[in-house]
Amino acid sequence: MEQFLIDNAERYKKLVAAFRPTGPGPKESGTAAASPEIVVSARVRPMLEDEVAQGFPTGVHIRAGSSNIADLHELQQPVRGLSRIRSSNYTVDRLYGPDATTSQIYDELVQPLVPWAWGGGIGTMFAYGQTSSGKTLTVSGLERHVADTLMDGSLEGERKISISIIELAGQTAFDLLNARKQISILEDSFGVTQMAGALEHPVTNKDTLLEYIEAAASLRKTTPTLRNDNSSRSHAICRIRFQNPSMPSSKDGLLYLIDLAGSEAARDKAEHDTARMKEAREINSSLSVLKDCIRGRALADADAFAGVKPAKKPAYIPFRQSTLTKTLKHVFDPTSARSCKTVVVACVNPCLADIGASKNTLRYAEMLRVAISKPKAAEYSPGVPATWNNDQLRDWIGRNSGNPPITASLLAPAESGAQLLRLPIPEFLTRCLKTEGVSPEQAQAFQSKFWKLHIDSQKSVASSKPAGKPAAGCSRMELLDSSADPEPGAASIPFKERIRPGMVVRWNPPAEYASFAVGGKSYAMVMCPAQAAGERVRDVRGELVNPADGESDRQETGEAYLCALVTPALLPGSYGVGLWRQVVVRVEEIEAELLLEWDEATRYYYMTA
């Protein structure tokens, strides 16, 4: 076959030069738009010297005047007559040709992921493609650009940066920053995937970051293939974590740069032994699951932010079906509620000899582009934040953000309701805190209120409670869904003078309880005066709540209450009350009263503004 291609190269070039596309790419539709949170691009590398020297022509062409359509021309030999070309075309969001530089791809596609992850979101870049198509060259170049952006001082605020780089080969994972020590991919009891055993290295400067990246590259498993002397037969996952010291309870921002294992051309596979065949099967199967997960997440996001109640069951996302997608669970799990942006760079080898594999790569890329229904200017509804334009959103912020009101122009300078819902939570909180006098608790409570309204608006059965219920005019039963004191006039009495069971407080725990503070904050719900607890009652540490005289490890200073710890729960801004995790809180350790509201839909508590 290869000799046939070389022998007919001149005729092939003439046929390609005479080719005229018949209309635009067929996959663009007037009623659909690509998902805004995922950009699917393709990069066609230059022909390599040996490909040119062997006499192979170029089989993949960027359509003239287009920035996103690739034409592929296969050469066919009919039973009778002259050889002819069979053409097909593929549409992606952005197509880069042989002259494009990694720097251009970074500026246009990947750079925006960096401030996104810095602000608390999850940014993910995948390089996909057949072996020897330029994935490693692209990812290593992008990593260098990321290092530049992170360390050039252009990003606002302080972050603790750390890096881990692992390799997934089949079902097995290795730490590339710890001499390829085997690690485990486990889901903890909170449903969070952990790269158990992988070291995370703090980085404070560009040189160290690059040293880690280069050290990992040198340890990656490679095997010579027909196309590439150093073919990567594994997925390499570089994860950069951003911890915001001024918001310790917020989830960390994450940036993933992923160099996927190369899919192989059929002619490579012909020379495989059983182990290599198994390896190729595992790689292909994990890439197939990845495709389903990327599509599933894009569909789920499209449903969630379209401003309409979902008419169908949420899209199924099979992230547990491969180690790769299990590792990236929080990117794909629609219940994780993390704000994600994803960029795929499909790398394409243009050589006519590999046109079959290039076709597969571009077809794969095209399948990742989920066309979502163009929002038919969803009708404004006061209880559905996803339908609000910027003016409506600002108006709601002004009326619902507590005291002092959060400055709407600082929180949502241009965003619509749907766009603000997609903003990473730490970024939302950072913007709230720009208003003078707003406390972290107020910001958190307001974020929860906004998010809860969105969740409520998505419920297919309308809630019996009107969204954003007003305090005045509520029945006593409704008021009892919140920890606010339901008695008229309570607000005018200092809270320490009306401590009662059910009150929620922020307290400054003494050293013996410090380890129970989550994210540097301690919240507790009052249960009863400590003295009212029985003689044998013990606190969360196992210490007696009412020890005999002289046996206490805590200084006796007067009034104290037995309280249940209040800790962050799984959903953003939600809390759980640990009824059986009891602590003794002294009145002088209490700093403020907080208001928690019970939400029937999610079965969690939320702070209210």
Query: With binding defined as CB under 6 A, does residue 142 bind ligand ATP?
Result: no
Pair 605, 599: CB distance under 8 Å = yes
- Comparing CB distances to ligand ATP, the nearer of 136 and 430 is 136
Least distance between ligand ATP and beta carbon 13 (Å): 22
Least distance between ligand ATP and beta carbon 211 (Å): 21
- Site mask for ligand ATP (CB under 6 A), range 252-291, x = bound: ----------x-----------------------------
For the segment 412-451, give every residue that binds ligand ATP (CB under 6 A): none
Least distance between ligand ATP and beta carbon 93 (Å): 19
- Comparing CB distances to ligand ATP, the nearer of 263 and 342 is 263
Pair 127, 135: CB distance under 8 Å = yes
- Comparing CB distances to ligand ATP, the nearer of 102 and 342 is 102
Query: With binding defined as CB under 6 A, does residue 134 bind ligand ATP?
Result: yes
Alpha-carbon distance of 121 to 115, in angstroms, equals: 9
- Comparing CB distances to ligand ATP, the nearer of 232 and 322 is 232
Least distance between ligand ATP and beta carbon 195 (Å): 22
Binding-site member from 35, 91, 136, 234 for ligand ATP (CB under 6 A): 136
Alpha-carbon distance of 308 to 306, in angstroms, equals: 6
Alpha-carbon distance of 136 to 231, in angstroms, equals: 9
To the nearest 10°, the Cα dihedral for 364, 367, 368, 370? 170
Q: Which of 298, 284, 286 is nearest to 332 (CA)?
A: 298
Instruction: Kindly state the DSSP code that residue 462 receives in the 8-state scheme.
Output: P
Q: Which of 56, 70, 73, 128 is nearest to 98 (CA)?
A: 70
Least distance between ligand ATP and beta carbon 129 (Å): 5
Least distance between ligand ATP and beta carbon 227 (Å): 7
Q: Which two tokens stand for residue 299?
A: 């569909």
On whether 130 is known to bind a ligand per the annotation, the reply is yes
Least distance between ligand ATP and beta carbon 369 (Å): 21
- Site mask for ligand ATP (CB under 6 A), range 152-191, x = bound: ----------------------------------------
Query: With binding defined as CB under 6 A, does residue 231 bind ligand ATP?
Result: yes
Binding-site member from 8, 15, 25, 46 for ligand ATP (CB under 6 A): 46
Query: With binding defined as CB under 6 A, does residue 232 bind ligand ATP?
Result: yes
Q: How far is CA 592 from the centre of its chain?
A: 34
The 3-class secondary structure across 27-55, one letter per residue, is CCCCCEEECCCEEEEEEECCCCHHHHHCC
Alpha helices by DSSP H, 58-175: 102-105, 113-118, 135-151
Q: What is the CA radius of gyration of the chain?
A: 29
Alpha-carbon distance of 453 to 597, in angstroms, equals: 13
Q: Which stretch binds ligand ATP (CB under 6 A): 135-143, 273-281, 297-305, 405-413?
A: 135-143
Total Cβ atoms within 10 A of residue 382: 15
Alpha-carbon distance of 606 to 609, in angstroms, equals: 10
For 139, residues 6+ apart whose C-beta sits below 8 A from its C-beta are 125, 127, 236, 238, 257, 258, 259
Length of the chain, in residues: 609
To the nearest 10°, the Cα dihedral for 304, 305, 311, 313? -20
- Comparing CB distances to ligand ATP, the nearer of 346 and 370 is 346
Binding-site member from 120, 121, 129, 417 for ligand ATP (CB under 6 A): 129
Pair 451, 573: CB distance under 8 Å = yes
- Comparing CB distances to ligand ATP, the nearer of 360 and 552 is 360
Q: Which stretch binds ligand ATP (CB under 6 A): 223-231, 357-365, 386-394, 522-530?
A: 223-231
Pair 272, 136: CB distance under 8 Å = no
Let me know the angle formed at the C-alpha of 91 by 90 and 94, rounded to the nearest 5 degrees: 130
3-state secondary structure of 552: coil
Least distance between ligand ATP and beta carbon 134 (Å): 3
> Within a 13 Å sphere around the CA of 602, how many CA atoms are in the beta-carbon half?
26
3-state secondary structure of 355: helix
Q: Which two tokens stand for residue 148?
A: 């530049």
For the segment 544-603, give every residue that binds ligand ATP (CB under 6 A): none
Q: CB nearest ligand ATP: which residue?
A: 262
Binding-site member from 58, 228, 243, 448 for ligand ATP (CB under 6 A): 228
Binding-site member from 5, 37, 42, 45 for ligand ATP (CB under 6 A): 45
Pair 302, 35: CB distance under 8 Å = yes
Q: Which of 356, 352, 380, 421 is nearest to 36 (CA)?
A: 421
Least distance between ligand ATP and beta carbon 215 (Å): 18
Q: Which stretch binds ligand ATP (CB under 6 A): 13-21, 42-50, 211-219, 448-456?
A: 42-50
Binding-site member from 133, 358, 387, 447 for ligand ATP (CB under 6 A): 133
On whether 135 is known to bind a ligand per the annotation, the reply is yes
Alpha-carbon distance of 580 to 381, in angstroms, equals: 41
Least distance between ligand ATP and beta carbon 356 (Å): 16
- Comparing CB distances to ligand ATP, the nearer of 221 and 506 is 221
For the segment 519-548, give every residue that binds ligand ATP (CB under 6 A): none
Q: Which two tokens stand for residue 285?
A: 């199967």
Query: With binding defined as CB under 6 A, does residue 131 bind ligand ATP?
Result: yes
3-state secondary structure of 89: strand
Q: How many residues in the shown chain lie near ligand ATP by CB under 6 A?
A: 17
Least distance between ligand ATP and beta carbon 259 (Å): 7
Least distance between ligand ATP and beta carbon 524 (Å): 53
On whether 129 is known to bind a ligand per the annotation, the reply is yes
Query: With binding defined as CB under 6 A, does residue 219 bind ligand ATP?
Result: no
On whether 132 is known to bind a ligand per the annotation, the reply is yes
For the segment 323-352, give every residue that binds ligand ATP (CB under 6 A): 347
Alpha helices by DSSP H, 248-273: 266-269
Q: Which stretch binds ligand ATP (CB under 6 A): 40-48, 67-75, 249-257, 442-450?
A: 40-48
Beta bridge partners of 578: 565
Let me know the angle formed at the C-alpha of 417 by 606 and 345, rounded to the nearest 5 degrees: 105
Least distance between ligand ATP and beta carbon 128 (Å): 9
Binding site for ligand ATP (CB under 6 A): 45-46, 48, 129, 131-137, 225, 228, 231-232, 262, 347
Which positions make up the binding site for ATP? 129-136
Which positions make up the binding site? 129-136
